[in-house]
Structure 1
Amino acid sequence: MKHSRRKAAHRIAAVTLLMAGCASPVAWLVSRENAEQQVVAFAQEESRRVIAGQESLRLDGPNAAAKAEQAAQLLTGGLFEIAEIYSAAGDKLAESVTAAGEPLEAQLPPHGKPSYTRASYESLRLPSDQWVLRVFVPLRELADGPITGYFEGVRLIPAWQHAQILSDAFIVALMVCLASLVCGAAIYPVVVRLAEENERKARLVLESHIAMMEALGRAIAKRDSDTGAHNYRVAWLSAKTGEALGLQGAPMQSLIAGSFLHDAGKIGIPDAILLKPGRLDDAEMQIMRTHVEQGEQIVSGAGWLDGARDVVAGHHEKWDGSGYPLGLRGEQIPLAARIFAVADVFDALSSRRPYKEPFPPEQVMRILQEGRGQHFDPQVIDVFTDLAPALRAQLEGLDEEGVKGLMSDMVHRHFDTLQ
């Protein structure tokens, strides 16, 4: 269960850091924009109040320019460094600029006559590295009345206010980051408990699958008067060869399951043929060969065992096309079946049977080499030849329980996705 805790911790930490990393900058930007909008909203409201107080909302009379000039002067020096008032036609009537606003004016981007209908603003970083807010306000005598003029103001954000806005934004971003981390820590025990429960159930399912595969393999072996050690040996030999060829994941699982269940179809062969001590005649051999098709039917559509089909259906095919039941040749034969064919013959020749003694290692390898390119895939034979001495040494002297132990490690290494 330590693995599940570590895995859950890593995932929660990754998600939490991702959330914090994404949410904090967004919170920083939103907080900064909100601060800007608050400043702008106050400036817009104050500019309307001053202009209304100077009776400058009507900018079409003979005193329009004088009233506009007076209002512009009142708006500069406090809220704005630059204040401009335009007529309804967009003609500038008045402009007031503070000493601090004069160097700003040359750095502002130009624009045409105002024609907007809603208040807005621009946040600008000037070439002088100063931060200004440019406010645009349409003027109306009545809230829903026609536009009578326009006010445009430029507010220089002082260094202290800029620092305050950034500081507030940073605090909000930090709080969001801490909230993400706290949430991650709070859900960790819940996720760990769920992960451990899922892992426990998945391991039980895996173990039941493996037990079912082994039990079915042993039942098949005993049906054929075998101790069952043959199944473990050929499965282990096949898996070791598959590893050397780079198999992993589903292809390796198919190879192991198929090696255990390669003779599943012999369950359907009559005892008189399956257990006949002498040589089978042609009719009996024809029946015996049906175990391939019967085995394929047994494992096909059986969910977890479906992967065994490649070996079950193809382990009697030969590289040169002389095998059965389909006479496949070369790479038409599934790789798992080509690997198993070598392991199966190697074990049959190397093992003691009621009707024979084990062949010497040199003779076994000579027979395998004679089948290279005919019975066996040349690449598989070459890889297996390099492995054979070490594989033989590991198997030497092991009984069924010993070989089962080797295979158990192999099965859990390639089937246990919870490692």
Structure 2
Amino acid sequence: MNNFQKRTAIRIASVSFFLACLASPIAWYVARENAEQSIVSLGIEESGRMLHRYDAVALDGPDAATKANDAAHTISGGMFDIVEIYGPQGNKLAGASTPDGKAIESRLPHHGRPNYTEAFYLGSKLANGVWALRVFVPLRDSATDLTRPITGYFEGVRVMPQWQQSQIFSSAWTAALMVGLAALLCGAVLYPVVVHLSNDNEKKAREVLDSHISMMEALGRAIAKRDSDTGAHNYRVAWIAANVAEQMGIQGAEMQALIAGSFLHDVGKIGIPDAILLKPGKLDDAEMAVMRTHVDQGKGIVTGMGWLDGANAVVASHHEKWNGQGYPEQLQGEAIPLSARIFAVADVFDALCSKRPYKEPLSFEATMTILEKDTGSHFDPAVMAVFKPMARSIYDRLAHSDESQTRALLEERVRQHFEYGV
């Protein structure tokens, strides 16, 4: 299991656990409410039959109290332990209670004259684990036409027996556990799907990255060949710059741009005529002016090329100097992009240490003497402060490395910073 798969597993497990913790209490609450609602509905239906049986729905006649009293005593002891029946003006006509109802009646909240138009219920948790359901029903001479006038009120209290409480809570816990388990199972099912899609996406991303790197290498080699080099210079300077940047805490897109820009720093030399690019002697002022146009030409090549667009900073500014006497913009100090300042050290270090058709390589000591002399004029002192302690190990690592070995070194950095092959 690679890092991505571990992160994915942790995130999916966390989300699944969170959903389970969130959904389970909701499921428990909904299941309990539904159970209560079922009991209340059954009670209302049963009491409705009794009220109609005793003609205790229309409660405005002279015998309303008698009818209400007969109905109340019949209904109490069935679904309800306390029954109260009121007239249309809210006056109490009858009441009846079972022993269980009488035991809790004084602990129930009292209310004034009933004056409601729709049926509802309230659950009350009393002392000693007593659970009471209170039902409030306006009476009409039609059970379906709610526009009919109210002819009375029925109120009932059911003291939930222990067996029924246990049954309700057991059903609610079962629903909560099922919902929680479903959330966890969904996470378990999603994980292999996400990993499969990620692997497929990673494969495609790797193919795209391979093509990008191949394009970058092809451009770099084409310039190196035109400039009488083997191409190893591009690998070396990109590797050196990446090492320095790592020590400076650079990562992510900024590091990727530095590597690409270092490798393609001289891409603009494609547009320089061979007579100038390959001239064995010193260039005159006019020829030097043409040679310096390779910076703007390189900038034009990489700008707008999507993945290579980040190389712009190094390509456009790799000949700028810390003191502002470079070209083409004469940028000074921190106005020069940091990636270009890092590359400038790597580029000059490698150029001095390497053999070229027109020169022999300098020793490490001679190279460092030149770099230290130009620190503060050509090179950023902060970059040089990071580079100096690691310069010797870089020199020793590259001294006897051919192009294929140097390429392997850079590929290692590419895999690390482009998440290639992870």
Query: Is the partner of 1:101 in helix, strand or coil?
Result: helix
Which amino acid counterpart does residue 412 of structure 2 have in structure 1? D
Of 404-413 and 1-10, deviating more is 1-10
Rounded Cα–Cα distance in structure 1 between residues aligned with 2:167 and 2:154: 27
Name the counterpart of 1:355. 358
Q: Is the 8 A contact 2:83 2:155 kept in 1?
A: yes
Name the counterpart of 1:174. 177
Deviation sequence 1:353-409 (CA, Å, 0-9, x none):
223332232332232223323222221111111221222232231111111111110
**Superposition deviation, residue 200 in structure 1:** 1.7
Query: Is the partner of 2:375 in helix, strand or coil?
Result: coil
Which amino acid counterpart does residue 59 of structure 1 have in structure 2? L
Q: Match for 1:198 among 198, 201, 204?
A: 201
Count residues with an aligned counterpart: 419
Q: 1:265 and 2:268 equivalent? A: yes
**Superposition deviation, residue 35 in structure 1:** 1.0
Aligned positions of 1:335-414 closer than 5 A: 335-414=338-417
Which amino acid counterpart does residue 97 of structure 1 have in structure 2? S
Name the counterpart of 2:45. 45
Q: Is the 8 A contact 1:4 1:199 kept in 2?
A: no
Q: Is the 8 A contact 1:8 1:195 kept in 2?
A: no
Which amino acid counterpart does residue 388 of structure 2 have in structure 1? T
Which amino acid counterpart does residue 319 of structure 2 have in structure 1? H
Name the counterpart of 1:69. 69
**Superposition deviation, residue 133 in structure 1:** 1.6
Q: 1:159 and 2:162 equivalent? A: yes
Of 177-186 and 242-251, deviating more is 177-186
Of 329-338 and 94-103, deviating more is 94-103
When normalised by structure 1's length, the TM-score is: 0.92
Query: Is the partner of 1:277 in helix, strand or coil?
Result: coil
Calculate the aligned-residue CA RMSD, in Å.
Answer: 2.4
Query: Is the partner of 2:99 in helix, strand or coil?
Result: coil
Query: Which stretches in structure 2 are left out of the alignment for 5+ residues?
Result: none
- Pick closer, same or farther for the CA change 1:108–1:248 going to 2, 3 Å: farther
Name the counterpart of 1:92. 92
Aligned positions of 1:106-255 closer than 5 A: 106-143=106-143, 144=145, 145-184=148-187, 190-255=193-258
Of 331-340 and 195-204, deviating more is 195-204
Q: Match for 1:328 among 327, 331, 334?
A: 331
Query: Is the partner of 1:231 in helix, strand or coil?
Result: helix
Q: Is the 8 A contact 1:265 1:291 kept in 2?
A: yes
Of 318-327 and 253-262, deviating more is 318-327
Which amino acid counterpart does residue 385 of structure 2 have in structure 1? D
Q: What percentage of aligned pairs have identical amino acids?
A: 59
Which amino acid counterpart does residue 49 of structure 2 have in structure 1? R
When normalised by structure 2's length, the TM-score is: 0.91
Name the counterpart of 2:259. 256
